[in-house]
Amino acid sequence: MNIQLVPFTEQDFEQLIEWSGDQAFLMQWAGPLFQYPLSPDQLFAYNRDANNEETSVKLNYRVVLTETQQSIGHISIGSIDRENASARITKVIIGLPDLRGKGIGKAMVETALSICFGKLGLHKVSLGVYDFNITAVKAYERVGFSIDGVLRDARKVGDTYWNLIEMSILEDEWKALQSDL
């Protein structure tokens, strides 16, 4: 399945709210930025000053199936630091459960990395993933991310603490993978 990343706009808010899930699922894909339940006001604040490739510190995207133009997910490139040539992939969600496990998450991250290293000219891209999300960890490793370390008990969700795995990929590692294709 081929996908495209298109800028996330106000017209996309309701779809992302529908996908946001319960408190634990919202924390899993969005981290601590949003409070449950997700609301349009939170998304307005999240999307404010986003999506200018020249000046924004975050680029928020909806993920679209190329063949049908159906919205199927969301991804963000955040914490863009032009001085240090780095950014962070965040807010990764495949909104349609029947499309999970079909390589779409990998395609989403690969496309985001093309933007980071190709268009933005960055040197390093990082992300965080909770340690119980083994499928995501493996997908990120297949794209070329390496584990940098683990933040133990990084988030409290209900009565449970979650460990956060920090991962990153450098520009030369990404370029080496592209030449292997």
Q: Kindly report the CATH number assigned to the domain that includes residue 145.
A: 3.40.630.30
Q: How many folded domains does the chain comprise?
A: 1
The pLDDT score that the predictor gives to residue 42 is: 98
* Helix residue ranges, H only, 124-170: 134-143
Q: What angle do CA 55, 75, 46 make, to 5 degrees?
A: 55
Q: Can you give the residue range of the structural domain that contains 173?
A: 3-180
The pLDDT score that the predictor gives to residue 155 is: 96
Q: What whole-number distance in Å separates Cα of residue 33 and Cα of residue 74?
A: 15
The pLDDT score that the predictor gives to residue 125 is: 99
- Residues 104 and 1: beta-carbon distance below 8 Å: yes
Rg (CA), the chain: 16
Which parts of the chain have pLDDT scores under 50? none
Q: Whole-prediction pTM value? A: 0.96
- Here the tokens at position 28 are 């899993």
Residue 5 DSSP one-character state: E
Q: What whole-number distance in Å separates Cα of residue 84 and Cα of residue 61?
A: 23
Q: Are strands 124-130 and 86-94 parallel, antiparallel or unpaired?
A: parallel
